[in-house]
Amino acid sequence: MLDRSARTGAAFRQGTVERTAHKEAVKNDQENEEDHGRYGTEHKITELIQN
């Protein structure tokens, strides 16, 4: 009984770690997209000002 409980706990912890890693990856991707969007806008404004 204790062995099954330990395995369940280990599986739960692994799932938690995987979900946390996934959330971090998604968050990083969203931040990168936002940063690239800002850069593109800034670049376009500078381009328009120069012309």
Q: Report the predicted TM-score, pTM, of the whole model to 2 decimal places.
A: 0.40
**14-18 average pLDDT score:** 74
pLDDT of residue 24: 92
The proportion of the chain whose per-residue pLDDT surpasses 70, expressed as a percent, equals 71
What is the number of structural domains in the chain? 1
pLDDT of residue 5: 65
Model confidence over 25-48: pLDDT tens digits? Answer: 999 988 888 777 776 777 778 888
- What Å distances lie between residue 37 and 17, 21, 30, 50, CA to CA? 30, 24, 11, 20
- What Å distances lie between residue 35 and 29, 31, 48, CA to CA? 10, 6, 20
Structural domain boundaries enclosing 48:
1-51
- Smallest CA-to-CA distance from 23 within 34, 31, 13, 12 is with 31
CB-based burial label for 9 (10 Å; 0-12, 13-18, 19+) = exposed
